[in-house]
Amino acid sequence: MDVKLSNVRLSFPNLHVAKEYKPGDGKPRYDATFLIVPGSENDKAIQAAIKAEAEAVFGAKAASYLESFRGNANKYCYLKGDLKEYDGYAGMLYLACHSKTRPLVINRDKSILTAQDSVPYAGCYVNAKVSIYAQKGENAGIRAAFSGVQFYADGDAFSAGGPASVDDFDDLAVGSEVDAGGLV
């Protein structure tokens, strides 16, 4: 079931070059994790999609399957951020998403963004199109894929850092307080 997330924080973005989850597994994928405010409209939409997908796939046993999946990152894509030691996760929920196909990555004006652009980055805010689905069989679980990310707004960059600002540098023009020879 497709869900559009609005104004959520982006974490662990791997949006432009597919990477193998386990080196040598031959299964490259794109990744993104979205931080969700508990009780928000985004949270309600994800919860409703999870329930609907579980009922569609597992039928009368949906509630039992969901109970057994919750809290297990290998079986459930929507978890409590308090279980992680990462910046920005405390008090949040997180939706871990993957995709075998390259997601659409666009700016606020819908222009295409590439790996060379400074956005999106870990810690910024984005809109995203995700798909929640239930999986039966040996690897049963509730999973999430994503097909697109739109930069929404800047946020405090997570540990990997964000783009530099011109304010991070000194003015080195001749006649300024600092020039190529050092302090004037």
**How is the chain split into domains, by residue range?**
2-183
For 70, what's the count of Cα atoms within 13 Å in the CB-facing half-sphere? Answer: 12
pLDDT single digits (tens) 111-143: 999 999 989 999 999 999 999 999 999 999 999
State pTM to two decimals. 0.84
pLDDT at 182 over 70: no
Q: Find tokens 């490259």 and name the residue.
A: 28
Which CATH code for domain 2-183?
Answer: 2.40.50.140
Beta bridge partners of 149: 105, 128
User: What would the two tokens of residue 105 be?
Assistant: 């990555």
Nearest-CA neighbor of 32 among 142, 151, 176?
151
Q: What are phi and psi of 101, to 5 degrees?
A: -105, 150
Backbone phi and psi for residue 80, each to the nearest 5 degrees, phi listed first? -80, 130
pLDDT tens digits for range 20-79? 988 888 899 999 999 999 999 999 999 999 999 999 999 999 999 999 999 999 999 999
